[in-house]
Chains A and B, each alone.
Chain A
Amino acid sequence: MKLRVDYRASLSLVGSILKYLAVPLCFPLLVALYYGETVVPFAVTIPLTVVLGAGLERLDPDPDIRAREGFLMVGLTWLTVAVVGAVPYLIEAHGIPPAVAPVRPASTLGNPANALFESMSGFTTTGATVLGEISFDAHTRGIMMWRQLTQWLGGMGIVVLAVAILPELSVGGAQLMDAEAPGPGIEKLTPRIAETARALWGAYLGFTVLEAALLYGLFLLGIDPNMTLYNAVAHALTTMPTGGFSPEARSIEAFSAAAQWIIIPFMIAAGVNFALFWHALTGDPRRVFEDTEFRSYIGVMAALTALLSALLFTGAGFTASVPADGTFDAAYLGEVSGIIVGQVEPALRHAAFQVVAIVTTTGYASIDFNAWSTPAKYLLLFAMFIGGSAGSTGGSIKVVRWYVIIKSVRRELYTTAHPEAVRPVRLAGRALDERAIRGIYAFTLLYLVIFFVATGLLFLDGVRHGQTLTLLETMAAAASTLGNVGPGFGVAGPMGSYLGFSNAAKLFMIGLMWIGRLEILPVLVFLTPEYWRR
């Protein structure tokens, strides 16, 4: 069998991107220097990345990327970057002599499966963690900054960034971005794809800087003494990619109400199609509000927020009796429900925050929603399947797909009664190509099938591993990793971690995050024999 895919060309471009990964790696190195921590994890990884990247690059001095090579390149880029990104975690957990670093408790990232999980979770902006303990006692500020930075790099997309800066990707750039960018198809904003990629990254960078400045402003004004410069930067870096890694063990619950209110609009913005921001900035702000997906996106979140805040306000959102599995303590439940029930602002804030965090797949927590009642949790599980907008940094199925599915189902009902009627499905007034609708059906069906299969497998593995998982917990874990949301329920809840899962389950979830981020098809396609054959 002779292969038709020019895998050397793909690997060569993966190498180019890998080489450039050395640049962002310098940032946590500087952070480590500033705080007087060990720089070994980065000092080792940076040359390693450059050598590995340059080596791969030499496989094909003049790579020619076509559709098939594009899929392979995008898929492998994310896999390779995740593997290399795990190296600093491994180095930090192992081989640092006590003379260089103060003695720390043994890090859970010493296990390669854990390190890779954390790295993949970062780059895919999932935000699911396997850190045993989230604190600066257990981990250096440098390594934590790397963890947050991986999310920022993964959010708008490594390949999009590569298209923006690598001239050799200008020809196939649109194809590559399409394979990576969330949602069906991409929107070219300018005639040159590199410029489009730069515009998207520019908006992304702008929002990140703005959020960091606003959050740090709270610290300077004395409103939130916990929102230090490090925390402000860290949270801006993980909000905009809808990531959700927080250096605080209690996530956003560790901050003031003001900080939570500031983060909400930034999460919303992160779930909006970034092309809309470009239109707004280049003199067509009306387009934002006329956009069908934007309206549905805001509408869905408003409806869910109203429902959830009603549950919380009335107290129906909290469990009547504390379950015996010990995943949260009764004192905490009493404390939070005491603050929220019957209070408008906290009920609204936590409902809005949690709905936005889950719908946009950011995955932050302003409260331990593990302590909520089953109906409230199911509401959040349902929200995990909605996702952000196409062209945003959000994961999951995406609002626009649901919109098209609902419209085309309505069309089916209509044509059942009127068989001769010709009804194109319209999106913002424009008729959609039937092939695009079929693609959306295929994606969504595949997504749900993978979700159910994953739920089954994780459940079985839990039984094998001696874990006591409820069905809701398993479903949440599968939905959360596949949709790049982050937290689930139970042990994997917002204040917990995925550490308890077996290595096999973790490796499986690494796969889920990977195909979830790339929206399944670009990854699945090169697992089929037809792809490789002539």
Chain B
Amino acid sequence: MRVVIVGAGQVGSSIAADLADVHEVVVIDSDAERVEDMNYSHDVLAIAGDGTAVSTLEEAGVDDAGMVIASTDDDETNIVVCSTVKAISDAFTIARVKNTEYLRTWQRSKKAFGIDFMVCTNLLAAESIVRIIGLPAARDVDPFAGGRVQMAEFEVAENSPVSNVTVRDADRFEALTFAAILRNGTVEIPRGETVIQPNDRVVVIGTPKSVQEFARTVAPDESPGTAEEVVVVGGSEIGFHVARLLEERGFRPRLIERDPERARNLAEKLPDTVVMESDATDTEFLEREHVGDADLVVAALESDEKNLLVSLLAARIGVERTVAIIDATEYVDLFEAVGVDVGVNPREVVAEEITRFTREGGAENVALIESDKAEVLEIEVDDASILAGREIRESIQQLPEGVVVGAITRDREFITPRGDTVVEAGDHVVLFVDAAVASEVTPRL
């Protein structure tokens, strides 16, 4: 497949490098020097030009391209690229954006901007940080339905409170569905009387909060409780999303922001976060607010150097773990070497996400379990779907064994699926499907 990548920055070149060995990759960038670099360093065709111009896109062979990835540092440019591509070809379009408003628009209507898949840098970075904080016990975590639904896979340890317990007894969570148990490489659909055995892998689908609660049940030692004290330093977009996602998981984080207006703005948007208006390097303030007692500090300021400073200061006053956002890829190792526990590079996260997605290569929001044993997919139910307008119990009977409805979102609201829940057209349904029946089931949904 021909893949056209617009923007040869860090994200673009990283994706290009990953895809070059299996695909025919063309890279477009307006910077001639970068283009030349690209041509020499990777096995790709690099073209100098304006990616929003039809002539440049045609030169890159967009007519035959299977996929176009817009990955420049400018949101609007990326959107225009995808829109232009959709107007002149059938290629699958992927756009990278920073602004979450664009993501929200796109999630509302997948027709928006002519974009088939959108990744949001700030949100992804925040999600990966929260995953580090919230669910260390999970082997795999994937967000669905715009983050309102989460799929997670946990390995049940010998000493876990849920080992040798039936599913019925383990399922004490309102908004959680046990989708599957993976035992010795086989997929088992759990029934109420199924006993969870040690070393099983349990796949659950539910709200982020309930998944978090389940994580604490499965691995109480490994998973931090919501009593865990998290301090986010810096009210950047990423800092904001970290706090917001932590709130969704039931945490009550603290957030420190220096700018009064931004602080007020964040305080309005984050009801369960204590927003403090102060300079995070003011040691007197840190002492007064006992920031040193925090279990974890996330440094999300706009500059790498300040994030390093904050992390080191936090570690010095006694914080157990520090996570820093590091914009420059080359600093990540250095910072981790001098004392930051985890460095998160937003561009790297985005490049990984896009690569992962292109490798899986589906238009739907899909997650693969154990690389190919089963998949979790999100569909928007239309009238033709077997699920539409009937009870789940009824539609499942007409499908082969191995399908579990994990979650439903209707008008952005989470609905826990039970046997008598009626699915309506327009609902987003997250399903677990055993790979053995996937090809048979998918077209009927």
Q: Give the shortest distance, in Å, between A412 (CB) and chain B (any CB).
A: 15
> Which of B33-41, B142-150, B267-275 is near enough to bind chain A?
B267-275
Asked if A464 CB lies within 8 Å of chain B CBs, one says no
Asked if B14 CB lies within 8 Å of chain A CBs, one says no
Asked if B173 CB lies within 8 Å of chain A CBs, one says no
Check B276–A422 contact: CB distance below 8 A.
yes
Asked if B277 CB lies within 8 Å of chain A CBs, one says yes
Check A431–B268 contact: CB distance below 8 A.
yes
| Bound-state Cα–Cα, A420 to B264, Å | 11
- From A422, A426, A429, A431, contact of B277 by CB (8 A): A422
Residue-wise, chain A 399-424 has the 8 Å CB interface mask toward B (1 for contact) of 00000000000000000001011111
Give the residue name and chain of the A residue nearest to B254 (CB).
A421
Q: Give the shortest distance, in Å, between B389 (CB) and chain A (any CB).
A: 21
Check B276–A421 contact: CB distance below 8 A.
yes
Q: Give the shortest distance, in Å, between A411 (CB) and chain B (any CB).
A: 11
In chain A between 59 and 118, which residues have their CB closer than 8 angstroms to a CB of chain B? none
Check A418–B274 contact: CB distance below 8 A.
yes
| Bound-state Cα–Cα, A308 to B179, Å | 53
Check A418–B271 contact: CB distance below 8 A.
no
Asked if B26 CB lies within 8 Å of chain A CBs, one says no
- From A420, A423, A424, contact of B289 by CB (8 A): A420
In chain A between 408 and 448, which residues have their CB closer than 8 angstroms to a CB of chain B? 418, 420-424, 426, 429, 431
Asked if B429 CB lies within 8 Å of chain A CBs, one says no
In chain B between 212 and 243, which residues have their CB closer than 8 angstroms to a CB of chain A? none
- From A420, A424, A426, contact of B278 by CB (8 A): A420
* Residues of A contacting B274 in the complex (Cβ-Cβ under 8 angstroms): 418, 421, 423
A side interface size, CB within 8 A: 9
B side interface size, CB within 8 A: 16
A418-B289 in contact given A423-B275, A431-B268 (Cβ < 8 Å): yes
* Residues of A contacting B276 in the complex (Cβ-Cβ under 8 angstroms): 418, 420-422
| Bound-state Cα–Cα, A429 to B263, Å | 17
| Bound-state Cα–Cα, A440 to B10, Å | 53
| Bound-state Cα–Cα, A431 to B266, Å | 11
Give the residue name and chain of the B residue nearest to A426 (CB).
B271
* Residues of A contacting B267 in the complex (Cβ-Cβ under 8 angstroms): 422-424, 431
| Bound-state Cα–Cα, A479 to B256, Å | 46
* Residues of A contacting B260 in the complex (Cβ-Cβ under 8 angstroms): 422
| Bound-state Cα–Cα, A424 to B278, Å | 16
| Bound-state Cα–Cα, A418 to B263, Å | 15
| Bound-state Cα–Cα, A426 to B267, Å | 10
* Residues of B contacting A418 in the complex (Cβ-Cβ under 8 angstroms): 274, 276, 289
* Residues of A contacting B278 in the complex (Cβ-Cβ under 8 angstroms): 420
Q: Give the shortest distance, in Å, between A214 (CB) and chain B (any CB).
A: 36
| Bound-state Cα–Cα, A418 to B264, Å | 15
Report whether over half of chain B's contact residues are helix, strand or loop; otherwise say mixed: mixed
Check B277–A420 contact: CB distance below 8 A.
yes
Check A422–B271 contact: CB distance below 8 A.
no
| Bound-state Cα–Cα, A422 to B271, Å | 11
Give the residue name and chain of the B residue nearest to A431 (CB).
B268
| Bound-state Cα–Cα, A423 to B267, Å | 6
Give the residue name and chain of the A residue nearest to B263 (CB).
A422
* Residues of B contacting A424 in the complex (Cβ-Cβ under 8 angstroms): 264, 267-268
* Residues of A contacting B271 in the complex (Cβ-Cβ under 8 angstroms): 426, 429
| Bound-state Cα–Cα, A424 to B268, Å | 6
Inter-chain contact total with CB atoms closer than 8 Å: 32
Q: Give the shortest distance, in Å, between A404 (CB) and chain B (any CB).
A: 15
Q: Give the shortest distance, in Å, between A58 (CB) and chain B (any CB).
A: 50
Check B275–A421 contact: CB distance below 8 A.
yes
Q: Give the shortest distance, in Å, between A424 (CB) and chain B (any CB).
A: 5
* Residues of A contacting B275 in the complex (Cβ-Cβ under 8 angstroms): 421-423
* Residues of B contacting A429 in the complex (Cβ-Cβ under 8 angstroms): 271
| Bound-state Cα–Cα, A424 to B263, Å | 10
| Bound-state Cα–Cα, A421 to B266, Å | 12
Give the residue name and chain of the B residue nearest to A414 (CB).
B274
- From B266, B268, B285, contact of A420 by CB (8 A): B285
* Residues of B contacting A426 in the complex (Cβ-Cβ under 8 angstroms): 271
In chain B between 111 and 155, which residues have their CB closer than 8 angstroms to a CB of chain A? none
Q: Give the shortest distance, in Å, between B66 (CB) and chain A (any CB).
A: 45
Q: Give the shortest distance, in Å, between B117 (CB) and chain A (any CB).
A: 32
| Bound-state Cα–Cα, A424 to B273, Å | 11
In chain B between 244 and 285, which residues have their CB closer than 8 angstroms to a CB of chain A? 256-257, 260, 263-264, 266-268, 271, 274-278, 285
| Bound-state Cα–Cα, A418 to B260, Å | 15
| Bound-state Cα–Cα, A424 to B264, Å | 7
Q: Give the shortest distance, in Å, between A509 (CB) and chain B (any CB).
A: 43
Give the residue name and chain of the A residue nearest to B266 (CB).
A422
* Residues of B contacting A431 in the complex (Cβ-Cβ under 8 angstroms): 267-268
| Bound-state Cα–Cα, A422 to B273, Å | 10
Q: Give the most central of A420, A421, A424, A431: most B CB within 10 Å.
A: A420
Residue-wise, chain B 281-312 has the 8 Å CB interface mask toward A (1 for contact) of 00001000100000000000000000000000
* Residues of A contacting B264 in the complex (Cβ-Cβ under 8 angstroms): 422, 424
Give the residue name and chain of the A residue nearest to B275 (CB).
A422
Give the residue name and chain of the A residue nearest to B235 (CB).
A422
Q: Give the shortest distance, in Å, between B244 (CB) and chain A (any CB).
A: 14
Residue-wise, chain A 177-191 has the 8 Å CB interface mask toward B (1 for contact) of 000000000000000
Q: Give the shortest distance, in Å, between A246 (CB) and chain B (any CB).
A: 46
Q: Give the most central of A421, A422, A424, A431: most B CB within 10 Å.
A: A422
* Residues of A contacting B289 in the complex (Cβ-Cβ under 8 angstroms): 418, 420
| Bound-state Cα–Cα, A107 to B215, Å | 79
Give the residue name and chain of the B residue nearest to A430 (CB).
B268
| Bound-state Cα–Cα, A402 to B264, Å | 23
| Bound-state Cα–Cα, A426 to B264, Å | 12
| Bound-state Cα–Cα, A424 to B266, Å | 10
* Residues of A contacting B266 in the complex (Cβ-Cβ under 8 angstroms): 422
Give the residue name and chain of the B residue nearest to A433 (CB).
B268
Give the residue name and chain of the B residue nearest to A429 (CB).
B271
| Bound-state Cα–Cα, A420 to B259, Å | 12
* Residues of A contacting B257 in the complex (Cβ-Cβ under 8 angstroms): 422
Q: Give the shortest distance, in Å, between A264 (CB) and chain B (any CB).
A: 35
Q: Give the shortest distance, in Å, between A429 (CB) and chain B (any CB).
A: 6
* Residues of B contacting A422 in the complex (Cβ-Cβ under 8 angstroms): 257, 260, 263-264, 266-267, 275-277
Q: Give the shortest distance, in Å, between B8 (CB) and chain A (any CB).
A: 41
| Bound-state Cα–Cα, A422 to B263, Å | 7
Q: Give the shortest distance, in Å, between A13 (CB) and chain B (any CB).
A: 39
Give the residue name and chain of the A residue nearest to B257 (CB).
A422
| Bound-state Cα–Cα, A280 to B380, Å | 29
Give the residue name and chain of the A residue nearest to B264 (CB).
A422
| Bound-state Cα–Cα, A429 to B271, Å | 7
Q: Give the most central of B263, B266, B274: most A CB within 10 Å.
A: B274
| Bound-state Cα–Cα, A407 to B274, Å | 15
Q: Give the shortest distance, in Å, between B243 (CB) and chain A (any CB).
A: 13
| Bound-state Cα–Cα, A205 to B266, Å | 43
Give the residue name and chain of the A residue nearest to B269 (CB).
A431
| Bound-state Cα–Cα, A174 to B285, Å | 46
Give the residue name and chain of the A residue nearest to B268 (CB).
A431
In chain A between 378 and 392, which residues have their CB closer than 8 angstroms to a CB of chain B? none
Q: Give the shortest distance, in Å, between B97 (CB) and chain A (any CB).
A: 27
Residue-wise, chain A 312-342 has the 8 Å CB interface mask toward B (1 for contact) of 0000000000000000000000000000000
| Bound-state Cα–Cα, A426 to B277, Å | 18
* Residues of A contacting B263 in the complex (Cβ-Cβ under 8 angstroms): 422
| Bound-state Cα–Cα, A429 to B268, Å | 9
Nearest 9 pairs between A and B by C-beta? A431-B268, A420-B278, A420-B276, A422-B267, A422-B275, A422-B263, A424-B268, A422-B277, A424-B267
Name 23 interchain pairs, CB-CB below 8 A, sorted by A: A418-B274, A418-B276, A420-B256, A420-B276, A420-B277, A420-B278, A420-B285, A421-B274, A421-B276, A422-B260, A422-B263, A422-B264, A422-B267, A422-B275, A422-B276, A422-B277, A423-B267, A424-B264, A424-B267, A426-B271, A429-B271, A431-B267, A431-B268
Given contact pairs A420-B285, A420-B289, enumerate 10 new A-B contacts (beta carbons under 8 Å): A418-B274, A422-B260, A422-B266, A422-B275, A422-B276, A422-B277, A423-B267, A423-B274, A424-B268, A429-B271
Residues on B facing A (Cβ under 8 Å)? 256-257, 260, 263-264, 266-268, 271, 274-278, 285, 289
